[in-house]
């Protein structure tokens, strides 16, 4: 076995596009085996498209091979404009090759890459069933919930110095019929009143919204629960949001925005976004954020119901929405439960500091 390193990869039709095809296939197998189905909107094209903004995030891929046999992938993400001590790791091994040292070899190669780029904090995420089954449990630094400490993935990370910072609940909802979704959105609008107006679009962010959206994304980077993980505010501005618009087009994905404008100031003070892949029945909830001074007015409920109505209208093939929320984020969980989201799994946020 040897580890191949790719500091750049090509898009569809190029010689090394197989790396992204392998990554998506292995993760699909992992999610289906752990949670029963693949709920993501990831495709090989979208995974490659993520790498096309190297001025903001640099990607390196480590691949374990044995002859012609491709055993696993570790994707390393290196922020370039903020969080310069941090690296994100996405490591997956073919299920039949686990327990043979492939994961350890990939992690060692990834950490070497990170350290050579000045990184000393490493973060990654895992998937787990809702209920831990083993007798030994591990609990996060923040919020409720627990994982099976003897689960192979959890045990692998704990043995290599990673700590569980946070658990996120994976939930999904089947969208109601279009007329029901539209009625729910109108009911939420009536409750909120006339102080806020809904603005929606798919594709590039409108010029008159982009500065406010950048401000909200920047606020969200540190506003959401993180379990004490080392996260600095993301350096987001309008130019970077424009690059993000272009990246989603390259990824072959649509991004639906539902925003609320405060009528008194004319500013966008909250938004919710969903990622839609052509032909895939599940849309992925990407972000929901409301500025602190505008919370408590029902805007979260308004954003979600208006988004679901627009999903039904604009994307008839989308049947459900999947989302992830910190188990300690009671306000957002309450909104989701009110809409009908039901939990189906957990995601663990792990961190190691050297």
Give 66-121 pLDDT, tens digit per residue. Answer: 999 999 999 999 999 999 999 999 999 999 999 999 999 999 999 999 999 999 99
pLDDT value at residue 142: 84
Give the domain CATH number at 139: 3.40.630.30
Whether residues 193 and 122 fall in one domain: no
pLDDT, greater one: 5 or 227:
5
Contacting residues for 262 by C-beta, under 8 A, at least 6 apart: 195, 196, 268, 269, 294
Which of 124, 141, 171 is the last residue before a domain boundary? 171
Same-domain pairing of 128 and 190: no
At 37 the pLDDT is: 87
With pLDDT > 90 as the criterion, what percentage of the chain qualifies? 92
The pLDDT of residue 219: 86
Residue 327 forms part of a structural domain:
no
Q: Are residues 127 and 8 in the same domain?
A: yes
Predicted confidence at residue 43, as pLDDT, reads: 95
Query: Are 149 and 252 contained in the same domain?
Result: no
Half-sphere exposure (CA, 13 Å, Cβ side) for 247? 19
31 and 93 inside one domain: yes
> Which tops the pLDDT comparison, 107 or 221?
107
Q: Are strands 121-128 and 86-93 parallel, antiparallel or unpaired?
A: parallel
Domain final residue pick, 118, 152, 171: 171
pLDDT, average across residues 34-53:
94
Residue 315: Cβ-neighbour burial (10 angstroms; 0-12, 13-18, 19+): buried
Are 14 and 123 in a shared domain?
yes
Residue 225 has φ and ψ, to the nearest 5°, of -55, 140
Task: Say yes or no to pLDDT of 224 above 80.
Answer: no
- Number of structural domains in the chain: 2
Query: What confidence tier does 23 reach under pLDDT thresholds 50, 70, 90?
Result: very high
Owning domain of residue 27 = 2-171
Is the domain of 139 the same as that of 180?
A: no
Percent of the chain having pLDDT more than 70?
99
Whole-number Å distance between alpha carbons of 123 and 109? 15
pLDDT band at residue 228 using 50, 70 and 90 as cut-offs: confident
Q: Tell whether 107 and 246 lie within a shared domain.
A: no
Q: Is residue 342 part of a domain?
A: no
Q: What was the pLDDT predicted at 230?
A: 76
Q: Are residues 187 and 246 in the same domain?
A: yes
Give residue 134's pLDDT band: very low, low, confident or very high (50, 70, 90).
Answer: confident
User: Do residues 20 and 9 lie in contact, with contact meaning Cβ atoms separated by under 8 Å?
Assistant: yes
Q: Which of 203, 283, 313 has its CA nearest to residue 247? A: 203
pLDDT value at residue 204: 95
Q: How confident is the model at residue 1 (pLDDT cuts 50, 70, 90)?
A: very high
pLDDT at position 229 is 77
| Whole-number pLDDT of residue 167 | 96
Residue 133 pLDDT > 80, yes or no?
yes
Over the chain, what is the mean pLDDT?
95
Closest CA relative to residue 91, chosen from 139, 38, 35, 152: 152
Q: Is position 336 within any domain? A: no
Four-CA torsion 112, 118, 350, 1, nearest 10 degrees: -10
Identify whether residues 159 and 191 lie together within a single domain: no
12 with 149, same domain: the answer is: yes
Confirm whether 341 is domain-assigned: no
Residue 354 domain-assigned (yes or no): no
Shared domain for 24 and 103, answered yes or no, is: yes
The residue whose two tokens read 């390393």 is 76
């Amino acid at each position: 076995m040897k580890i191949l390193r790719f500091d750049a990869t090509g898009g569809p039709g190029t010689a090394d596009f197989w790396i992204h095809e392998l990554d998506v296939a292995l993760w699909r197998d992992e999610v289906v085996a752990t949670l029963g189905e693949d709920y993501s909107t990831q495709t090989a094209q979208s995974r490659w498209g993520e790498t096309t903004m190297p001025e903001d995030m640099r990607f390196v891929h480590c691949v374990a091979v044995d002859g012609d046999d491709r055993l696993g992938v570790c994707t390393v993400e290196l922020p370039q404009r903020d969080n310069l001590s941090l690296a994100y790791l996405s490591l997956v091994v073919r299920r039949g090759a686990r327990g043979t040292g492939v994961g350890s070899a990939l992690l060692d190669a990834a950490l070497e890459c990170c350290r050579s780029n000045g990184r000393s904090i490493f973060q990654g995420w895992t998937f787990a069933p809702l209920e831990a089954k083993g007798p030994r449990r591990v609990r996060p630094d923040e919020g409720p919930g627990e994982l099976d400490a003897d689960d192979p993935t959890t045990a692998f990370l704990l043995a290599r110095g990673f700590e569980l910072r946070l658990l996120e609940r994976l939930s999904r909802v089947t969208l109601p019929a279009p007329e029901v979704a539209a009625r729910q959105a109108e009911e939420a609008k009536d409750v909120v009143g006339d102080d806020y107006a809904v603005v929606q679009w798919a594709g590039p962010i409108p010029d008159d919204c982009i500065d406010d959206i950048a401000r909200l994304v920047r606020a969200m980077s540190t506003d959401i629960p993180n379990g004490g993980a080392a996260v600095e505010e993301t350096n987001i501005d309008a130019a970077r949001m424009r690059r993000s618009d272009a990246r989603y087009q390259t990824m072959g994905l649509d991004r639906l925005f539902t925003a609320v404008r405060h009528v008194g100031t004319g500013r966008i003070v909250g938004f919710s976004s969903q990622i839609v892949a052509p032909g895939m029945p599940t849309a992925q909830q990407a972000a929901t954020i409301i500025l602190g001074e505008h919370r408590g007015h029902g805007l979260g409920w308004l954003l979600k119901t208006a988004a679901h109505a627009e999903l039904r209208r604009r994307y008839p093939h989308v049947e459900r929405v999947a989302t992830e929320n910190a188990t300690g984020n009671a306000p957002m969980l309450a909104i989701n439960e009110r809409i009908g989201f039901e939990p189906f799994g957990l995601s663990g946020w792990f961190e190691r500091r050297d």
